[in-house]
Amino acid sequence: MKSLPLEDQEDIRRYLKTLRLRHAKTPIIYACILRGFRRFVIEHSLRGSVSVEIIRAWLKARILRWSLHILFHRARLVDRFMDWMVACGRASSNPLQELRSQYGQRTTTPIVRALLSADSAVALERLRPLQAFGSVLGPRMKSHVELMRSLGHRYDVYAGYFLRFDRFLQGRADLIGEPLPTLIAAWRQAGCGLEHELEAQRCGRILSKAWRRTDPTVVLPPSDAHLERRVREAHRRPHIYSEEDIRRLLEIARAFLSPLAPLPRLASIPCCCLPIARGCGSARSSV
């Protein structure tokens, strides 16, 4: 196996020093991964520069040796290393960072998954975020949001409903031309859970009310009070711990002693000396 040029070895050493890794073996493993990546780039590139094609070839070669989750982790390491190289002026660009910016991704994993696919161009294009309010009904929903905000309403919750409904419509070209009740029914069936059903119902009623002002033929869908009650009942209610509850928790903690865990030291304190326990108990008694 060919050794790396001294400048590459020095770059890797300096980068790992900035990470301040705690475990003694971690720098060794990271250095091995980065050296292997740099060797691959030098062997498959004329000038030793990194490109999207080189990264894709490296991922294709490493997936034969590493499991997918390990490849994701090590690709993130390579991505951060190349970011550091660009910041230090040792590299002109980081192709992974450029792909994240181009396709609106905050993390490396979706980009890596797309590059590993058979048709990476199509897979990358699928990652591109949809345009806000880009559906057939998008302009009407956007104008309603702007109207309500101009009247002094924040309207963030309902704007979120409209954006999620808009994304659904952008992926369903077969629904173009259908009336609003049909679109809301299709969106309601596409999701799962009571929360989604209630969101679809509220979105349909709000849009119907807004458009009915200019078009009296718009039908206002009925409100399902039973659905709203089921959603409220499904919400988790808060529990206030009493002194007895905390005493039982600390007694259980004493049974799992460990020199690395701080909880046993807290468990050795009498419950009467814990202000949190007394506060919780008084809060419960006042309910």
What is the block-wise mean pLDDT of the chain (287 residues), using blocks of 10 residues? 82 95 93 96 86 96 95 97 95 95 94 96 92 94 96 95 95 92 94 92 95 89 88 83 90 73 54 47 40
* Residue 95 forms part of a structural domain: yes
Overall pTM surpassing 0.75 (yes/no)? no
Q: Which helix (H) or strand (E) holds 207?
A: helix 194-212
Distance CA 83, CA 77 (A): 10
Same domain as 264, residue 220? no
User: Tell me, what's the pLDDT at 273?
Assistant: 53
User: Tell me, what's the pLDDT at 222?
Assistant: 87
* Residue 266 forms part of a structural domain: yes
The range of the structural domain enclosing residue 261 comes to 243-285
Distance CA 27, CA 7 (A): 18
Same domain as 111, residue 32? yes
C-alpha of 154 from chain center: 25
Distance CA 85, CA 72 (A): 20
Distance CA 238, CA 241 (A): 10
Count of structural domains within the chain: 3
User: Tell me, what's the pLDDT at 190?
Assistant: 92
Same domain as 254, residue 275? yes
User: Tell me, what's the pLDDT at 211?
Assistant: 92
Same domain as 90, residue 169? no
Could you tell me the two tokens for 22?
Answer: 């705690």
Cα distances (Å, whole numbers) of residue 18 to 13, 81, 93, 125: 9, 11, 20, 35
Distance CA 142, CA 148 (A): 10
Q: Which of 187, 104, 105, 102 is nearest to 141 (CA)?
A: 187
Same domain as 121, residue 11? yes
Other beta carbons less than 10 A from residue 80's beta carbon = 17
* Residue 147 forms part of a structural domain: yes
Same domain as 225, residue 162? yes
